[in-house]
Amino acid sequence: MVNVRDFEGAAKAVLDPVYYDYFASGAQDEVTVRANEEAFRRLALVPRVLRGHKPPRLGHTVLGSQASMPIMVSPTAFHRLAHPEGERASARAAAEAGVIMIAAMLATVAVEDMAAEARKVADDPALWFQLYLQPDLGFTEALVRRAEAAGCAALVVTVDSPALGRNERGDRNGFHDLPPGIRCENLREAGGDVRSVVLSPEISWRHIDWLRGVTALPIVLKGVLHPADAALALRHGVDAILVSNHGGRQLDGTPAAVDRLPVLADAVGGEIPLLLDGGIRRGTDVVKALALGASAAAIGRPVLWGLAADGEQGVSRVLGLLRTELLNALTLCGCDSAESVPRDLVVRGAM
């Protein structure tokens, strides 16, 4: 396996087809799933030459979290469907690689256990926590306290989910519940019962203000695509935006995430960092995202493919492959650092 796509093939070969479909699929016609990857192919890189620099530096810091490269792990639910160790293995692999991992609220391993696993392999792992704001604010606050106590360094609030996207592969497969023994451990209550997550259209900016008032952690909004929402995020004291269409799993027909970067970069005017996910499969994709204004790019499915193919080792291999590709791409582009990728490296419509 020499690239991320090979890992998808290996994962498909070993996964229960119902779970493969859950991971791979998107909403309805999956137009946006395809658009995310195709958009990167339509962006071309115009390298500079004779730059005379040392191998590019990949290290970077976002919201106070130090990372060995500007590739993050996006939150994805239900890792134990991919591998018995689930998020324990992914958390170790991410920490070992020195990358920021965003733990999903719907993880099948509790955030405390993910943090403990990460600390087995790194002194100061960079773990963030993803939150679906629940209408039960008491429960939401309790989750925030758990994430804080576990050492999470930022809260990533997913705002593209006022309802669940319509997943037709899931409907055809009759996949509506987790198998026995696998549960969303962050939703377990003191008595042992596990709550159901609520995705509510009533969540609003008022809830972001509320969250700002109950935690000192940086707040990242995940799933912003409209510049007016980016401007509102600034007004509401949000610390960063993760530009994302949820890997095409929520509203089908939204634009490719990377195509929204320029307009969102204009909207925030450098006041807060932009992160990006959706369709990143190559080191060159990361370079394109950085050139268009992202501080870092994040991956969702590639981690699941690595995990399914070979547990912790598989995730490590996926992260390692992307690191090698990123280093190679930056060198070939004539860049000496991942933090200084110029805008004019990317042109549109060349392919």
Site residues for ligand FMN per CB under 6 A? 22-23, 36, 74-77, 104, 106, 130, 158, 222, 244, 246-247, 249, 277-280, 299-301
Distance CA 81, CA 75 (A): 15
Q: SS3 for 13?
A: helix
In the complex with ligand LXCWX6NK, which residue's Cβ is closer, 45 or 199?
Answer: 199
Q: CA 207 → CA 18, 128, 210, 317, distances in Å?
A: 35, 19, 5, 39
Q: Rounded to 5 degrees, what are φ and ψ at 331?
A: -60, -45
CA max distance for the chain = 65
- CA-based end-to-end distance of the chain: 27
Cβ burial of 216 (10 Å; 0-12, 13-18, 19+) is exposed
Residues near 226 by Cβ (< 8 Å), separated by ≥ 6? none
Residues 4/305, Cβ–Cβ less than 8 Å: yes
3-state DSSP percent of the chain in helix, strand and coil, to 5? 45, 15, 40
Residue 47 or 170 having the CB closest to ligand LXCWX6NK: 170
Which residues are part of a known binding site?
22, 75-77, 130, 132, 158, 222, 244, 246, 249, 277-281, 300-301
Q: Is residue 176 annotated as a catalytic residue, yes or no?
A: no
Supply the minimum distance, in Å, between the C-beta of residue 262 and ligand LXCWX6NK: 26
Closest distance to ligand LXCWX6NK from the beta carbon of 254 (Å): 14
CA distance 54 to 337: 9
SS3 category, 159 = coil
CB of 120 to ligand FMN, least distance (A): 24
| Smallest separation, CB 169 to ligand FMN (Å) | 11
Q: Which is nearer to ligand FMN, 20 or 153 (CB)?
A: 20
Least Å from the CB of residue 152 to ligand FMN: 14
CB of 54 to ligand FMN, least distance (A): 30
Nearer to ligand LXCWX6NK, 98 or 248 (CB): 248
Q: What b/e sequence results for 104-120 when a residue is b if at least 16 CB atoms lie within 10 Å of its CB, and e otherwise?
A: bbbbbbbbebbbebbbe
Known binding site for FMN: residues? 75-77, 130, 158, 222, 244, 277-281, 300-301
Q: Which of ligand FMN, ligand LXCWX6NK, none binds 164 (CB below 5-8 Å, type-dependent)?
A: ligand LXCWX6NK
Residues near ligand LXCWX6NK, by CB under 6 A: 77, 106, 164, 197, 246, 249
- In this complex, which beta carbon is closest to ligand FMN, that of residue 36 or of residue 254? 36
Select the binding partner of residue 277 from ligand FMN, ligand LXCWX6NK, none (C-beta < 5 to 8 A, by kind).
ligand FMN
Cβ-closest residue to ligand FMN? 300
Paired sense of beta strands 346-348 and 43-45, if any? antiparallel
Q: For the stretch 88-103, what's the b/e string if a residue is b when 16 or more beta carbons lie within 10 angstroms of its beta carbon?
A: bbbbbbbbbbbbbbbb
Instruction: Select the binding partner of residue 36 from ligand FMN, ligand LXCWX6NK, none (C-beta < 5 to 8 A, by kind).
Output: ligand FMN
Q: Which does 126 bind (CB under 5 to 8 A by kind): ligand LXCWX6NK, ligand FMN, none?
A: none
List the single partner that 273 binds among ligand LXCWX6NK, ligand FMN, none, CB under 5 to 8 Å by kind. none
Nearest to 224 by CA among 234, 211, 209, 212: 234
> Residues annotated as binding site for glyoxylate?
22, 132, 246, 249
Smaller CB separation from ligand FMN, 247 or 293:
247
Which residues are catalytically annotated?
A: 246
